[in-house]
Structure 1
Amino acid sequence: MRPLTLHLNNFGPFLKEVIDFNNVKDNQLFLISGKTGSGKTMVFDAIVYALFGEASTKDRKESDLRSHFADSKTPMIVEFEFKLRDHIFKIVRQGAFIKEGNKNKTLGQLAIYQYEDDEFNLRESKINTGNQFIRDLLGVNAEQFRQLFILPQGEFKRFLLSKSSEKQEILRTLFNSQRFEEIQKHLSNDVKEVREQIEKRFSILENNWRDIETFNDETLTEYKIINARQTNRIVEVLPEFKEKARKIQQELKEKKNVHKNEVILAENDLNYNLKLEEALTKLKEKQQQYEQLLLDDDEIKKKIKLLNEIYEVRPLANLLESKETLSLKKEKAIKDIEEKEKAINIITKKAHENKKQLEKYLQSSEAIEDFRKYVEKCKLFYDKAIKYQDAYHQRETITSAYKTLEEKIKTQKQQLDAITEKLNQRKPDYKKVELLNSQIFNLNNEIKELKQNELKKIEFKSLQKRKKQQLEDIEKFHIQLQQLDDKYHDIDKTNMDLNNKKDIIAKVQSALNSGDTCPICGNEVHSIEEHLDFDELTERHQQLSIIEEQRSDIKEKKIKSESELNHLNEQIEKISQKELNNTNYHELEKRIDYKHEEKQNLEKENEEINQLKEQLQKDEQSYHTLELDMKNKQHTLRENDITINDFEHNTDFDNVAKFVKVYESNLEKIKEYDNIIYKLEQNILNNNHQLSIEGNSKAYIESSLKELKNELENMNLKIDEEMARIGFTQFAQVQETIVKVADKDKIEAEINTYNKEKQSLKLVISQLSEETKNKKLQDSQHLKEVHQQKQQTLDKVATELSQHEYKIDFNQKKINEINTIIEKLEKELKAQQEVFQLAEILSGKNDQKLTLENYVLIHYLERILAQANQRLALMTGQRYQLTRREQISQGYSGLEIDVFDSHSNQSRHISSLSGGETFQASLALALGLSEVVQQESGGIALDSMFVDEGFGTLDQETLETALDTLLSLKSTGRMVGIISHVSELKQRIPLILEVSTEQYQSTTQFKRQ
């Protein structure tokens, strides 16, 4: 970022001021000079305020920046225009203030513009979004900007001497190290969650351990006293709970089995008696059913006779159905034989045609074999065709480039020779430039003194003129006073004291009559009438008052004039007559112009020499690069020639595209020929296979037809024999009998049902008679009561066993959960042990007592010290180096800075440095900090830097060294501005921003020496 212009309205001592930084131009280093309190630092404040709404130091508030002499109705406005990379931006920020007559504060405003298309376009107009836009644009916040762009008065010394905790706050802001603290907190929270999870598991473990059943056993009850966190002890005693439960379960099972057997015996007796009772009842019912069934016996005999007749005709009917089926099969076989013969003829014809085509293609195989040999021979070249195509292309390209390189090398060699001849072993003369600067500085001082004398001469004349005017004014005031005194004496002052007694006199007159005694003088009142003209008295009194006021005003003016005259006399006496006569500076201006011209010519020559050296170095590097490129191209050409010769020798082609086309054409012909041969051979095999299948199929059908004919002849003989056996002479007789066959199943079902039911009843009656034979029936109710008593006893034991088994299952579930929890706890404690240790280490519980964030900040601090020591070593003649104190302590340790003194070969406290040495260390540290922050902030475009105060503590040699350090920043392209009262700096820095103050207002002006 490079400042361009700065407009200040009501800002500090600047009521309306414009600072144009374009005056800096090529003089990158300039001095900001002025009296103490003139407002030099306010220039920094204005830049920081425009960008971030803050001052250049934390000590100043926004309300402190507004001018105390500003119009109460006019706002404080800062307009800052700057260049960032290749873009120009303008920021207009108005401060909040309370207008005269208002109670509420007028809010601040912010507008951000970007210069595009020859005009400024608005980008942001709101304060919050605008502030964020600026931070994103610059890539830094206000704190980082202060460290990078502005090194305020005392700020970098404060950082050097600050404690670890104070440095920690500054560094964490600059490097955003809070994210490491967040990592530490996140890990701590994770560990806390894991610990809570483990505690929850222990809580569940305690609950499960508390819930385990002891079965009223004293030993198990004593075990329950064990603390649940003694997991190893719990694992040892858990098997005893299971063993005790198993023994009680076994006892209950044995008791249950005894009662179960008793229940079974009682149940058997009851069931036996009930079955006997049921059997006797059922026997009586079945005997009655059997007697009822015997009444249908005659009807069943008739149906049996009809069924026998139907069975006689059934075989003949089956023979007739079989004959019909054989006849249909015979007709189908004859039709199938005819279709097979047609198919055989078609296949035979196709096979003949395929054989004929195959013989034709085999006769032309010699040409195809030639193609095949060529393809196999050139397959490698075809697969790498792109490589050979590139070789042809590269040969042409590189050959052309090679010729171009030869011309470039020749031209480059000529340029080298020309620059070497032009340089002619010349070297830049900087010492002479410094001498001319010193001479110019001295001449400027002399001219400045003479110009000051000239200004004093003008001032002397002005004083004389003002003195004359004051004398005239005093004489004029004296005459006016004399005139007023005369007028004052001419006015009649008789009865003037009665002017304010008018009311009293009127009251006395109203109370008296003629002949009354006067209460004032005691004489008789002869008449009551007006003796005084009160209006005339009032007029004279007013004239006297006016004269008094005029006299007082003129006296005051006369006193002021006399006081001013005395002041002018004092100023005139201070001016030396010798200085008034010595004002001729034109000859010195001619001499300084000559020196400037001589300096410019010398600087121009030095610049020309430097440019020639740089150009010579660049040209030599270019020449070396061209030579290396030419060697590479020669090597590539040789490789391409070998590749191309190999291709042309084997393929007989000098064009890769033509070769590929011919190769692919041959490959396609081979593929097409092989496909045709393969298809014809497959067709012939398929034809032969189909002929074989169709022939076998025809022979099988013919054999089947012959068998069908024989079966039909045998079937006719069987039909004739069956009809003769039954006694039928005609088929009509057979058909009539067959019609009755439809009722056969129904009749047969009725007969079977009757026989089955009869046989079943006989069997059941027989069985029931056998079961009840010689058996005595008991009282079933009594047997039920005995069984119920036995069952209740069994249920009670079973319930007790069930409850115990529930307790066993409950215990087993709890034991399983306890084992699972203990196993998880062991795994979690083992797995999380390292995480717990890491969390403690990152939180500062380590040998170095460093948190993660502090460890990172130490890394950044060491980088800063490394950068700072490069400059500090130069400024102190390699004597001092800044080091980090490695003493271990609690809190944010490790950020204290000591200084290593190479003269004593040991480190000592930073506060032991002198004022000048402290400034050197502070400046080096500030520049180191600036560079590291710039590196870490993603390439901030930092084209400017301002340094406030501190040079007054340095001796001449140290001042030169510090100034050289700042000049090195200038050589990097930065604009460097320095605030200082040190006069030696004015000799070294030709461009000065002079801040002048006149009572309550300051102005600025760029001056060149």
Structure 2
Amino acid sequence: MRPIKLKLNNFGPFLNETIDFTYVNNNQLFLISGKTGSGKTMIFDAIVYALFGEASTKDRKEGDLRSHFAENNMPMKVEFEFKLRNNVFKIQRQGAFIKEGNKNKTLGQLVVYQLEKDEYVLRESKINNGNQYIKQLLGVNADQFRQLFILPQGEFKRFLLSKSSEKQEILRTLFNSQRFEEIQKYLTEDVKEVRQQIEKHFNTLENFWQEIQTFEADNLNEHKMVNARQTNRLLEVLPDFEKKATEIQKELNQQKKANQELLNQAEVKLNENMKLQESLKHLDIKRKEYDSLLVREDEINKKIKRIKEINEVRPVVNLLDTKENLISKKEKVNVEINEKDRNLAELEEKLKNSIDELEFYKNNINEIEQYRDFVDKTKIFYDKSSKYSEAYNRFKLYNEELLNLREQLKDNEININDTQNQLQQRHTNYKKLEYINEEIYVLKDEIKVLKQNEQDKKEYDALLKRKTQKQTFLKENESALVDLMDKYQTIDKTNIHLNDKREMIKQIQSSIHSGDTCPICGSHINSIEEHIDFAELNRREKQLSEIETQKNKLNESKIKNESELQYIDEQLLKYNEESIATTNYEDRELDLAKKYKEKVLVEKENEAIEKLKLKQQQLENNYHDLQIAIQNKVHELKQNEMIINDFENTTGYNEINQFSDIYKHYYNKVNDFDNKTKELEQKIQNFNSTLAVERNSKSYLDKNKDELQNDIEKINNKIQDEMQSIGFTTLDQIYQVTAQTSEKEALEKEVESYEKSKQSMELIIKQLNEETMERKPEDIELLTEDYKNKQNALETISTSLSQHEYKMELNRKKINEIKNIIETLNNALQTQQEIFQLAEILAGKNDQKLTLENYVLIYYLERILAQANQRLALMTGQRYQLTRRSQISQGYSGLEIDVFDSHSNQSRHITSLSGGETFQASLALALGLSEIVQQESGGISLDSMFVDEGFGTLDQETLETALDTLLSLKSSGRMVGIISHVSELKQRIPIILEVISEQYQSIAQFKKQ
């Protein structure tokens, strides 16, 4: 990520400021300089706020970033353009605030654009979605951004001193190491699932083993005592179960076969005897039925004769039936002919009446035709009567409107003349207004400079006054130091060093006596009385101590005053005495007020002229519109007049309602005449059609009557011929035989049934005689009892066999399942053993107690430390090296950092470094981290870095080394911005972004040294 442009509105001390980072160009290192409180850190805050909605440090909240001098109705807004890899993005973020007069807060806004084909294209316009989009774009969150891109005050060394878990979060994002954790989790879950499956197989195996049948065999019961998890032993004993089951099955099958043969023999014998007895009974019954059937043979012969007579008279009966039908049809035809004659008479009477009525109506046809001609000619006017009625109304209305428009036109001409008179010799003068604005701008700029001079003069005078005070303090300090030294010289310092030996002397005195030899000097002791005044020694030592304390305080005050004097002299050099002498801005403020008044007059005159011009233009447009309206109205009057003339000339009426009444009267007369004549003509046509149909129908009936009479005569001749052929002379004889025709079917069925029964009985009796010839039946009860005993014996052995085969089939299935499970378990254990070991190692069950992801992160951390140590060794004169602590513990261990001190030849905790050394280590680590990330291309582009403070903790030599390290980054294309008050940095860094405080606001501008 490389900044391009930063725009600030009402953000901290920046009310409206733009910082163009393209000024840095190839000079990748630049210094951000300015007074304390001028807003240098706010530039970092603005970048972090634009990206994440937070400040560059956690201590500042969003509400602290808004300028206290911003207008109440204006929002805090930051616009940040930056380049990420080969893409350019622009982010606009507006903070939430409460407008003046409102109770509710105006919500914040966030818009993200991407540059495509020289145009910014919207990517996100909602805060939550935009924040997520930016986080995915950069690949880091706000905390990680602070540690990688912007190293603010108080947070510069956070990555160096952070815990393993904190480093792990940053490194896993930078190097995308989550995939290794996912691999580990996936493998662990997979192994867990495989183990569960194996245990499930063992449980199933145990269940199947317990369900195996032993068939009450002692050796099989002994086999069942084997543990199911002894799979090899199971495979050895399973064939014994199958062998034993087969032996029992074979024995039972042999028993079943023998019993089945005995049962079959008993069943055949029983069935044969039962069938013999049944046949004998049936034979006796059939013989008796046959004898009774022969008794009816004479009766059946008589019925056969009657059937023959009925069949001979059948043709004559059919002819008689045909004759009756013909006679019936003839009678119906006679009835229909009589009905047709009556209908024809009625129709001829109705036809005559209709023709007479039609002739009567046609006598008035001349009058009706006159009405019809009027209706046809004026129909269009009647259909559009509303149109012509509106034409009469509009003609009157348009005359009134035309008169009104002409009066408006006359008034408009008067107003145009008045406006033209007001505009004579008056013209707008915008050049004069522009000239006045330029003069106002110049005066305001001069006033601003003079006020700044006044402010600078006050600050300059205050510094001079402060300098005088400090010089006075220094003189007084020097005098006090001289007095103290004089007093110090006057104090007797003899034996002062013995004051702290008083206790020791007393102890020695208590242990020796007069006449003894001194244990210290070896001389003879004459007396042990005190000859040193320790109270006096104590008083003089206290005086000296007080003088020393006062002397240290005075020296400290002297150093402090000298430092302040040096700082004041540096500040005084910034002021130009000639500039601050010029502070009179009251005259220019008076001139500015006059120019504002002059500007107001010119603006009012221009505004009045513009209003008159606009009024004149409007009046002229209105005049033109009125002329067009009058022309249109005249045209519409002529159109309506033509419509009215057409109506009156054609209809002969000048009143719409009167014409409509006459038209409706004539139309109804014509319509009634047409309807009546049409109705009568239709009646006449219908009567003629009906007459023709009825006449044709009567002709057809007459012809049909003649044909029926001929058919009756022919039938009579055929009847006489048939009677002669069968020997009948009268019709009564025929009718007598015919009366018996209904009995024919019953007689035929009875004769047929008798013949069939007789033949069937004869056949059955013959078969039964053949079956029972020379055979005697045995005792059925004894045969039945024997059959049941053999059947029970077979069922018993069959049940035993079925039960055994069921158990045998269950055993077979269980044995197959057991073998399959054992094979599955052997394959699984053989193939999964290495995976089990690998999963445990990756999950941290190893000598180092490291997970796979932590192992990878340690690899990257060691690369980062190796890269960082190249710079740290140069900055510390080959003294310090950053090392990774190799302490073994469970969890995310191995990411703690220690420092190896070559002077003591051992490692120590990182917090034991001094402030300057910590800054060096943090800087080297930050640069090493960014370079390794760039090499790995883990999705994050580190093209820039910003450092806030920290250089003040370095001595001159170390500062030079740190600067050389940062300057060396130019070759890698990195942009590095530094905030610092160290004056040496201004001499070494060619580009400075200077933040200048102007009372309540600040401005920022780049300059080259």
Q: TM-score, normalised by structure 1?
A: 0.49
Q: TM-score, normalised by structure 2?
A: 0.49
